[in-house]
Each structure stands twice: as structure tokens, then as C-alpha cells.
Structure 1
Amino acid sequence: MNSKFSIPSLIETSQCSPNQLIQLASNLPDATISIPSVDKILEAIEQGKADQVSKLDWVYCIHAKAQWDQQNIDRSRKTSAAIWKVAIYNSWLQHQLLWRLALYYGDWQEQVLAQSLAESFDIFAYDLVSHLLPVQIIRAFRSTQAGRELAKIACEQRVNRTELLNNIREYLPIWIPIFSNFIEEISPYFTTIRSPNQQQVRWLLSCLDEMSDSQQIKAVNHLLINVSNQAANNHSLLVDWLRRNYRNGENWYKLSDQARQRLREWIGGIKYGDFQKLVNLILNKLDLQDFESNRLCRRRDFWADYSNRFERLRILLPKTSQIAIGYQIQGDVDLLEDDGSDPTEVCIFDFGEWFVVEFFRGRGSETRLFQKNSRNEQILFGESTLSVKRIRCLGGDRHDHVYLWQEFSPTWLKNHGILPNPNTQPSKNPTTDKLRKREHSLESWQREIEHLEREAKAYCNKIYFLID
């Protein structure tokens, strides 16, 4: 029972005679009982005395207005408009009307508001108080896509569903069904934003985090299928959230086939973009010889055909490169330890089942392939200090970058289950003369890489010996 109200004690009539009651009544002062009426309240409004109308009278007026309208059809809209005009300056009346209007549009079974009051809402909404959040929400209720409009309001306010309801619980009945259902419109609304900014992406992630498992799966499926790859590439925050929550584990298998493919493309697009930016910065910031610049351009263009396959990317820079470009690269970027090797940048790609290590410059300048296991992952993505020689000590399968390497690398990758993006043009078959030239270059590279590997093993053995 509400503590604000108490039931008055009843008079024990059995102990009072009728004569005593008559005598008691005769001694009471004269009292005039005012019976509320809609006409009386409307008259007060017309006379500019609306401030003298009591709260009890207003409650009666709101309740009885529908019946009064039936008897005064020609005056129903005009008088309701007058009531809304009073509400502009009467916060208590505002609250009463907006609360009931929310129930009216929220498919509440009982008649809580006259139709004329609901239809006259614009008199209030388009006046001085049109900026009020409850007013914006009532407007959304009147839309044919109420849930979508509520999602838009939440986005503009930068609040998720819980925060929105906390902001309006004193003004509107937050328990009506429409407030529960609009969370399913969050993802569809977001996909209508042409160029979402960072704040809108953060809002989306806040909404996703508060959803139930089933709601989130449905929302993520919709996002992946309906947001373009180009838009996703502009928002690594969204892609990283999806990678953490959906790329591995049981959630991955709850996505549709189309959504899984799009997520692969999103992740790959972001990571390839980082790789592409690194190559471009090296070309612009470092003083390279022409053959080195050409080599880097070919690497950049080659891996573009595998952009959908990228899962993670780690960038390792020598000190000279870090000074020149290090602060312009975001993501997983670390300093490459100097072990006496030729200066080179190193990129480590995670392709799911395999790690690919790409050496950009220097002697050897190979691509190495390592099976994805806990040991290799810990070293290649977990250790803070790595060097060229330490990576070469891990072994793995290797491929050259000598003449015609672009024609032979796809076959090498395919043999390990790493396929290019769909619709990628196959490599051309080289002529006999070109093959002969490649074989000659390959022999020199083979001798060079074996020499570098021996140096690497000697270096690592020395390091391990000193540690022991």
C-alpha cells in the first residue's frame, strides 16, 4: 500500500443514535461542494483564468473530454487546442497530457485520452517546447515507423535504450511495448546513415553491447549484409568489435553464410588498408633506390588480391623507419630489434590457418609461411622484441621475390590453402625464356637465403647461450 494514502477510520454507527447524528450534522458549518465540469474549465481558459483551475479539475477534464466531445463535436478540436496552449506554461499539465498521450499511441487498451486532444498535440509540439525529449518521442510514436524514429532519437542523443529510458521515466510510461521493441530497429536505422561518424559508431556499439544474444545476432547479421565494405573500411572500431565478438567462437557459426563472408571482407579490408598505408608512407618518407621502390609497389599490389583473407596485421619497423613514419601508423606497430641485418620493414599477416611474414627490403627479402599454432602465435604476435634473425630462426616455408615471383607465389599460397579474393585474375603462364631467366635469378637467391639463415641460427644460438 502506498504510504502517502491512508484509509480513514470508520465511525462505529452502532454506538450512535439517529438523534445524535442529526444533532452533529446541525452543528456543521455550511459548505459548498464544487463539482468539476469540462464547461467550467473551458470557461476559465477563455477568461484567462486557467491558473486558477485545480489539479483535480484538470484530471476530471482530461478524463471527461472524450464524452464532452461527443456532445460538442463542432468545438472539440478548438477546445483541445486551447488546453494544449495552457500546457505550454503548465508543467504539471504537460506531464499529465504527455503520459496519457504515450499510452494512447502505445496501444493501451483503455481509453486514456480524447481523440481531439491527441490530434491537437501539434499545437504544443511545434511551439516553444518542441525541443523537449518527451515531445520528440511522442512525435516518433505517431510515425508509421515508430521504432525506427525512436532509434534515430537515441542516436541523436548518443544514448542506448537503457539510457534513453532513464532520461524519460519521470515523464512517460516506459513499460509500454514500443519501448521494448525499438531496440530491434537500431541496426536497420544505422544502415540508413550514409556516412556514419565515429560518435554514431560508438553509439551503435553501446546499443549492441546491451542487447540480448538473439537480438545482437540478428542486428549483426543485418549490419554485415547491409553496410558497404567501403563504409566499414572507414571504421576500424566497428570492425575490431566484430572481430573480437564474432570472428571466433560459437557466435561465428550463428551468423549467416553471407554475413560470415562479409565479415572476412571487412576485417581484411581494414588490415590491408593498414598495410597499404605503410607501403605508401615508406615510399614517400624514405630515400629508397628505384629498384626498392618498384619492389614495394609490386608487394602492395600483389597482396591487394588477398585483402579479404587478412585477419590481423603486425608491423615491425627498424629505428630509422620508426623515426620517419612510426607515429603516422595506427594499430599493432612495434620497433624491430637491430641484430645487424639489412634495414627492412616487416609485416606479419594472420591468414587464419597460417601466418605470413613479409620482409620488405634488404638481402633475401623473402616471404615466410608459418603454421598457426600457439608457439608461433606467441612469438610472432605476442613477443614485444623481435628481429629479422629471430624470425628467420623459426624456419617455416619460404618464397622468393626474384623475377616472376608474382606468377609463382599464388600457386605456393594455394598449396597451403590461402586463396585470393573472388574474381581475381589468374597468373599468366610465362614463356620458356622468362622461365630460364627466373631459374638463374632463383639460384642466386637460394644461395643468399641459405647464407642468411645460417647467420640467423648462429645469432640465435649465441643469444640463447648468453641467456643460459
Structure 2
Amino acid sequence: MNFQFSLPSLPEPPKCIPNQLIQLTSNLPEATISIPSVDKVLAAIEQGKADQVSQLDWIYCIHAKAQWDKQNTDRSQKTSAAIWKVAISNSWLQHQLLWRLALYSHHQQEQVLAKSLAESFDIFANSNLVNHLLPVQIVRALCSQKPGRELAKIADEQRVNQTELVNIIRQDLPVWIPSFSQFIEHITPYFVKIISPNQQQVSWLLSCLNEMSDGQQIKAVDHLLTRVSNDIGKNHSFLVDWLRNNYRNGEHWYKVSEPARERLREWIGGINYGDFQRLVDVILSRIALESFESNRLRSRRAFWANYSNRFERLRILLPSTSQIAIGSQIQGDVDLLEDDGSDPTEVCIFDFGDLFVVEFFRGKGSETRLFPNNSQTQQILFGESRLSVKRIRCLGGDKHDHVYIWQNFCTIWLSDNGISPNRNTPPSRNPTATRLREREYQLERWKGEIKSLEREARLYCDANKDILY
């Protein structure tokens, strides 16, 4: 079937003429549209009228400069230099150019900035009026051959870590470009090149290490330990403390290389031996000793210097008389040694990892005792506050004398128990038969003395119901 529909008839639209709009526009003054151009800006600069260039004209000029340079190759460098000179006294233009140059340092694309402007940057950056500005210094670093290292240097000078540096300049520069996130990997390589870093620089390093990811930090610490001077560990004990707390006893210990672990052992040992050495020096200078006692302390100091790299921890126990005489001359883990009637003596407890060594400085016996490092002995020797000479002797342990030529035999005794001297320690000379006979004579007397002292210690501990096993 065919259906036919007729279109409805519509009224014709009214013929309206916008007379009022025509009248309004006819009364407006003639206007000309100014299209920005690079030539216009350059002409203003040459005429000394750069302050009259609008921001819109500057933006167009910066954007179009690369194309303009292709048509004016002989003037490209000179005109770019002129633009940078204007920027010295125009902070808005500075911001525009530095932002784009930071991007250019990463992309190397002329859509961001004309190559001639990038190459003329030094004319601006060398000016005394702006070279001290942080954004200028950072852009110079970004444009250098080693941007990571140069950014690390700036962070050191400003005493800021990566996060703090980014927060300071995020309004001035595009902080999302990779250079800002990657320069943290250059912190430690930069630090190890510093000759005699001061305390502030070491604190800055620790701030940077603390904000790193686990992977970044482990890599940085390994680099630090295997490349930095030994003097750093000796002069900055708080750096060694940080490393000990975060790496020596933690899960990261086996994530750094064996050379790094060995260096950390040396640093920790060096710090602890230094405390032991200072204690001996102060005792010798502040306490009136018999000559044989002074000689005995000097020989102890010299002997344990051969084990300085092995000291994990050190605890110092002083009798009240020594504590009064020494005062605050000794720092670290220093406690009062209880008076139990024994001869006055200072006591040092060395942690050698698997073993604890207790060294009696003076008095009868004056021995070295060796204890296994287990939870019980650790609690007693490094946790118990009420220790005395007799209480320590009640613990038993293996013991060694300090009679004639004791050093030769003590070295063997320690080695047999797994405590070796520092690398490159010269071997001991073999004693003559005459010296051996003299030692045997003195050793027999010492053994009898030790038996008597241990018997007194057991009676004391029994009487005080405080036997420590």
C-alpha cells in the first residue's frame, strides 16, 4: 500500500535586522590585532625597551625561537644571549627559561627550548646577580656532565635530603623529571669523595640514608663501607652507631658484601678499642699506681690493640675510687663495680661475637676470663647492674694469666677459641728456654693465687645467695 503525506505549512521567519548591534559596532574605534613575533621582542631588547615586552610576547618568543634560529643562523647565539641578559633582572622571565631548560636537560628537544638558548645559559648563570640562587644552581647541575653528583653536592651544601630539596624547589622547577628522583643514588659516591667530612655532613648523609628504600640503602651502605676512608669511622662514632644498629645485628647484615661486613667490624672494633685505650690512658694519668701496675696496664693496652678490629661491644666497670678519680673522662657504657672486698681493679668486658672476654686490670689474680656468648651470660655481663669482681669470678669460664711473657701464650689461647688478631699482626717470637722456665715458676704461683680467689668468690656468692651460673 502506498501512503502519501503532505508537509505542514510553516510560517515564514520574520525578517529581523540587528540594527542596534550594527549601530554599536559602527561607533567602536578601529582596532588592530598585534601578532607576537620573535623580531618584535628582539627589536625591543635592542632598543632598551625589554621591560615593555608583554608576557605573551615573551612566551611566543621562547616558543618560536628554535624555528627563528633556522632562518637566522648567524644571529641565533647572539640573540639568545641577549634574552638571557634580560632575564638577569626579570624574575618572571627567569622562571620561564629555567623551567624549560630543566626540561630540555632531560629531553634535549627544541619543542621545549631552542638549542641556542640552552647553549647560552652560562651567560646568565655566571652573573653575580643570580648565580647564588638555588634554582640557577640546580639547573646548572642538570645541564652538567654528571647531574646526579652535582645535585648531591647541592643537597650537601644546603644540608637537605632528596625530599627536602624537591619540596624547596617544586614551585620553580619541574621536579618530576628523572634527575630529581635518581640523584639519591649518587649521595654515597659523592660523600666518599669528601676529604675529612665534618659532623654536619655525616648527619646529612644519615638523613639521606634514612629516606632511601631498602634496596637503595643497602647499595649505598655497601658502597660507603667498601670505599670510604677508615678515618671516617674513627672520627664519627655516631655514624658507626647507626651502621651497627641498622646492619650489624639486623636482617640487612648478610645483604651487604663480605668486604663491607669486614669494614664494619673494623669500625665497630676501632671505636670500642678506642674507649678501652682511653680508659687505660686516664688510669695511668689520674691514679697513683705502683710501677709494676703501670707496666701491666701498658702491656694490656698494647696487646689488645692487635684485636681492635674484633671488638663488637665494650662495657667498663669501675670501682668507686677510680670513678671519682676519672670523673667524666670516659664515655660509653661505664658502670660502677660493686665493692665486695676484692683488691681495687677496673674491669673491661669485651664482646667478640661468639665469646665474651673479661679483663681484670689490677689486684691479685689480674686474669682474663673467657665466657660463651649465650642469653644467660649476655644478660649478666651486659645487662646486670650489680656486678663485682667476686660475682664475675663465680661465673667460672676459662681463664688466662698475665704473668711473665703472657702475651705469646694468650694469643695462642685466644686463637684456639676462635679469636684471631687483626690482619697483618706480626707473629710472636718464640721464647727462649730460660724465659720459659721463668714463666713456669711464676705461673705456678699464679695458679695457686687464682684457686684461692675463686674459693673466696664462691663463699661470697653463697653467703649473698647470688651465685651466677
TM-score, normalised to structure 2, is 0.91
d(CA) in 2 for partners of 1:356 and 1:101? Answer: 63
Instruction: Give 1:415 deviation, angstroms.
Output: 1.8
Q: 1:132 to 1:19 in 2, by over 3 A?
A: farther
Instruction: Give 1:108 deviation, angstroms.
Output: 5.6
Q: What pairs up with 1:291-310 in 2 under 5 angstroms?
A: 291-310=292-311
Matched, 1:354 2:355: yes
Give the letter aligned to residue 162 of structure 1: T
d(CA) in 1 for partners of 2:60 and 2:291? Answer: 88
Matched, 1:27 2:28: no
Moved more, 50-59 or 22-31: 22-31
Identity level (%): 73
d(CA) in 1 for partners of 2:276 and 2:337? Answer: 16
Instruction: Give 1:347 deviation, angstroms.
Output: 0.9
Indicate conservation of the 8 Å contact 1:317/1:326, yes or no.
no
Matched, 1:153 2:154: yes
Instruction: Give 1:119 deviation, angstroms.
Output: 1.7
d(CA) in 1 for partners of 2:15 and 2:388? Answer: 108
- State the Cα deviation string for residues 242-296 of structure 1 (Å, max 9, x = none): 1111112331111112212222112111211221121112112222111111101
Q: State the partner residue of 2:227.
A: 226
Q: State the partner residue of 1:10.
A: none
SS of the equivalent of 1:32 reads: coil
Give the letter aligned to residue 39 of structure 1: D
Indicate conservation of the 8 Å contact 1:187/1:222, yes or no.
yes
Moved more, 340-349 or 45-54: 45-54
Indicate conservation of the 8 Å contact 1:37/1:61, yes or no.
yes
d(CA) in 2 for partners of 1:319 and 1:366? Answer: 21
Q: State the partner residue of 1:213.
A: 214
Q: State the partner residue of 2:79.
A: 79
Matched, 1:111 2:111: yes
Q: 1:362 to 1:20 in 2, by over 3 A?
A: farther
SS of the equivalent of 2:35 reads: coil
Q: What pairs up with 1:125-164 in 2 under 5 angstroms?
A: 125-127=125-127, 128-164=129-165
SS of the equivalent of 1:314 reads: strand
d(CA) in 2 for partners of 1:252 and 1:107? Answer: 40
- State the Cα deviation string for residues 4-57 of structure 1 (Å, max 9, x = none): xxxxxxxxxxxx999757974663334332211111122222333322222222
SS of the equivalent of 1:106 reads: helix
d(CA) in 2 for partners of 1:66 and 1:259? Answer: 51
SS of the equivalent of 1:113 reads: coil
Q: What pairs up with 1:84-95 in 2 under 5 angstroms?
A: 84-95=84-95
Q: State the partner residue of 2:55.
A: 55
d(CA) in 1 for partners of 2:170 and 2:22? Answer: 47
d(CA) in 2 for partners of 1:75 and 1:25? Answer: 48
Indicate conservation of the 8 Å contact 2:394/2:461, yes or no.
yes
Give the letter aligned to residue 48 of structure 1: G
Matched, 1:190 2:187: no
Q: 1:246 to 1:25 in 2, by over 3 A?
A: farther
Q: State the partner residue of 1:281.
A: 282
SS of the equivalent of 1:420 reads: coil
Q: State the partner residue of 2:375.
A: 374
d(CA) in 2 for partners of 1:167 and 1:412? Answer: 60
d(CA) in 2 for partners of 1:443 and 1:148? Answer: 65
Indicate conservation of the 8 Å contact 1:306/1:420, yes or no.
yes
Count of aligned pairs between the two proteins? 451
d(CA) in 1 for partners of 2:279 and 2:17? Answer: 102
d(CA) in 2 for partners of 1:58 and 1:465? Answer: 87
d(CA) in 1 for partners of 2:446 and 2:319? Answer: 23
Moved more, 42-51 or 192-201: 42-51
Q: 1:439 to 1:53 in 2, by over 3 A?
A: same
- State the Cα deviation string for residues 162-214 of structure 1 (Å, max 9, x = none): 11111111111111011111111111111101111111111111111111111
- State the Cα deviation string for residues 309-367 of structure 1 (Å, max 9, x = none): 11111112222222333412222122222222211111111100001111111111111
Q: State the partner residue of 1:444.
A: 445
Q: 1:291 to 1:88 in 2, by over 3 A?
A: same
SS of the equivalent of 1:402 reads: coil
Instruction: Give 1:465 deviation, angstroms.
Output: 7.3
Q: State the partner residue of 1:122.
A: 122
Q: State the partner residue of 2:345.
A: 344
List gaps (5 residues or longer) in structure 1: 1-15
d(CA) in 1 for partners of 2:96 and 2:68? Answer: 19
Give the letter aligned to residue 35 of structure 1: I
Q: 1:149 to 1:465 in 2, by over 3 A?
A: closer
Give the letter aligned to residue 70 of structure 1: K
- State the Cα deviation string for residues 100-158 of structure 1 (Å, max 9, x = none): 01001122656211112112212221221111111111111222111111111111111
Indicate conservation of the 8 Å contact 2:66/2:110, yes or no.
no
Moved more, 378-387 or 129-138: 378-387
Q: State the partner residue of 2:334.
A: 333
Instruction: Give 1:410 deviation, angstroms.
Output: 1.2
Give the letter aligned to residue 207 of structure 1: C
SS of the equivalent of 2:344 reads: coil
Q: State the partner residue of 1:406.
A: 407
Moved more, 347-356 or 439-448: 439-448
- State the Cα deviation string for residues 365-417 of structure 1 (Å, max 9, x = none): 11111110111111211223322222222221111111121111111111211
Q: 1:412 to 1:17 in 2, by over 3 A?
A: farther
SS of the equivalent of 2:42 reads: helix
SS of the equivalent of 1:348 reads: strand
Q: 1:223 to 1:405 in 2, by over 3 A?
A: same
d(CA) in 2 for partners of 1:19 and 1:272? Answer: 104
Give the letter aligned to residue 101 of structure 1: L
Q: 1:20 to 1:419 in 2, by over 3 A?
A: farther
Indicate conservation of the 8 Å contact 1:217/1:255, yes or no.
yes
SS of the equivalent of 1:398 reads: strand
Indicate conservation of the 8 Å contact 1:351/1:418, yes or no.
yes
d(CA) in 2 for partners of 1:207 and 1:25? Answer: 70
Q: 1:412 to 1:465 in 2, by over 3 A?
A: closer
Q: 1:276 to 1:33 in 2, by over 3 A?
A: same
Give the letter aligned to residue 27 of structure 1: L
